[in-house]
Each structure stands twice: as C-alpha cells, then as structure tokens.
Amino acid sequence: MRRVDRTLVSTPAVLVGDKSRGGKELAKAKLFFEAQDAAAAAAGGPAAAPKTRNKKGKSFDFSAYSDEAVKYALDKLFFGKCAYCESRYANQAPVDVEHYRPKGRIAGVADHPGYWWLAMIWDNLLPSCIDCNRRRWQDLPQFPESLAQLLAAPEMQGVKASLGKQDLFPIAGAARATAAVPGIDEQPDLINPCVDDPEEHLVFHIDRGDPLGLVLPAFEDDVPSRRGLTSIHVYGLNRLGLVQERTRILRKLDFLSRLIDEIGKISETLLASRDQKNKTMGGRLDLLLNQILDEIRAMAEPDQPYSSLVKAWSKTLKTN
C-alpha cells in the first residue's frame, strides 16, 4: 500500500452537484432512509434503521458510484492497481469500486445502517481487487516453511482464513458517525491510502539472505501499530498469492543487486587497466550497470505493482 494524493484526479462529473446522477441518487437515498427512521421511531425502535431494506424487503439500489466515469477516474488515480495490495486488478478481474466506509451495513454493528450518505462521495471511493474487498476464504503461508515450499502453491493448500474487507469497518472507541450526526470524529482502524501514510503503520520484511514477501505492522516504542495489524488482517495483505508474488519480486531485486556488485567489480578492474580495449569495455559495463539501476528505479515508480515493496527494498540497498 502506498500514499496516494486524491487531488491529482478531479471528482467525476457524475458525482458532482445535486443534478448529477450521484446527486439525484443521494436525494432518493435520503428519502428512503428517513422513511426507515420514521417507521422505526413509530414502532418504538432505534432512530437508525438496522437494515438498508424497506418493509417489503427491498433494498436501496446504489449505482452511481460504479459509473464507468468513476471507474476510469479511480483507474487513473491508482494506475490500475488495488488501493490496498497494489496488485493490478485488470490482470485477474474487473475492479471493485470499494467504499472505505461501507455504504449498506457494518459487520457486527446491528443498529447502524451503514454510511449510506457517503455512497456517492468521491472521497469515500477506492479501487480494490476482489480479494481485498470481498470476504473470501484465502490460503495462508505455513510457518516455518522453506522458500521452495512457499512458492509451490499446490503444496500449501489446507491452511485457510476468511479475509477481505466487504462490510467490515472497525473503529477505536464507540463514537461512530451516523446520518444524523455525520461530523463525529471517528478513529478508523483501517488505513485509507488517500488519507493516511501507510509507511507509518506498515513495513515489509526485508531479508537480503532469505527473501520473504510479508507485510508487517510498524512498531513504535515496541508496540505494533493497531491500524497496521487490523489492516493486514481485514484486507488480507498476507494471503498466500500476495506473499508469493512479493517474494518473487524480492528475489528478482536481490539478483539484480548481486549483478550490480559483480559488474561493478569487473568494471573497476577494467577501467584501472592500461589497455585501451579494457578501458572501453569497462565503460560499457558501467553503462550496463546504470541500466540495471534504472530498471530498479522504474520498479519503484507509483504506476508499478508492489512499488512500495521495491521502495522499501531500495532503502536497504543504499545502506548496505
């Protein structure tokens, strides 16, 4: 996960203004949920309707948030990557337009109808792969395991966990915003890459001798980040497929690093020679070395998958 500046892409017109598709849908949603509240109050129930359904069992149909213009804007903002795991979602399935604050309901909170008034709000929308967004059973790495076993997916079957955000939205404390009181200062336990700096809560396990693509909570005063721990679990950031792919990238980076070291040594020897041919060859090797470094820099660019991992690895390269 990496920090993303949402202001780099304008709010899609479909969500702007009362007369837009999103504005009209919000007005209808307001009437729908006000009717729910009124019915609940008349029956002596809670002010907030517990479900996003009317008496006939019909749910409110949110749709403006998934307009193609919204998908295009999110794709542009996040370079076609999942906001949470940095995978290219186009490689596996269409993007899920994800509500950071769930629009319909909140898992484990029976008396809250969800943040329906934010369903069409640009700042609440993020692009997600289906594995980060939908609650699914996922394979997990077994520990301790060798690298060979980790990369052999068929051998890792059997260890599973239900992961994925869906309608989960844990907060610290009990102060949760409602449509009636939307200004409450909530303290989300999940990282929002457009609001938070993920590097304050998440770190990668970087071991140059035995690469393993795990993401871990950041520590401060020997205490792990609560938001880091929760985000890793809810988004499923250490599901087997992700760990495998990040491990492959770390292995590639370590190979390129060893290549840089070897080419550097050979080039230094050749450039120190009195033979002009050797000096010429040494210069050409220097050019090759710079091309390899450019390749590593390119892998850390925001438009590349798992760029935050490459960025973290590159910091260790500078210090070693």
Contact yes or no for 253/209 (Cβ under 8 A): no
DSSP letter string, 275-292: -HHHHHHHHHHHHHHHHH
Q: Which amino acid is at 240?
A: L
Look at residue 46 and tell me whether its pLDDT is greater than 90.
no
What is the 8-class DSSP label of residue 116? G
Tokens of 112: 């809250």
**Residue 259 CB coordination number (10 Å):** 13
Structure pTM?
0.87
CA distance 217 to 136: 22
Reported as a pLDDT band with limits 50, 70 and 90, residue 183 is: confident
Pairing outcome for strands 125-128 and 160-163: unpaired
Look at residue 238 and tell me whether its pLDDT is greater than 60.
yes
Among residues 227, 205, 212, the alpha carbon closest in space to that of 312 is found at: 205
Q: Give me the sign of the Cα torsion angle 280, 281, 285, 291.
A: positive
Predicted confidence (pLDDT) per residue in 88-116, tens digit: 987 777 899 999 999 988 999 988 889 99
SS3 245: helix
Reported as a pLDDT band with limits 50, 70 and 90, residue 57 is: very low
Q: Which pLDDT score, from 0 to 100, does residue 58 have?
A: 57
**CA atoms within 13 A of residue 200's CA, in its CB half-sphere:** 10
Q: pLDDT averaged over the chain?
A: 87
CA distance 16 to 26: 11
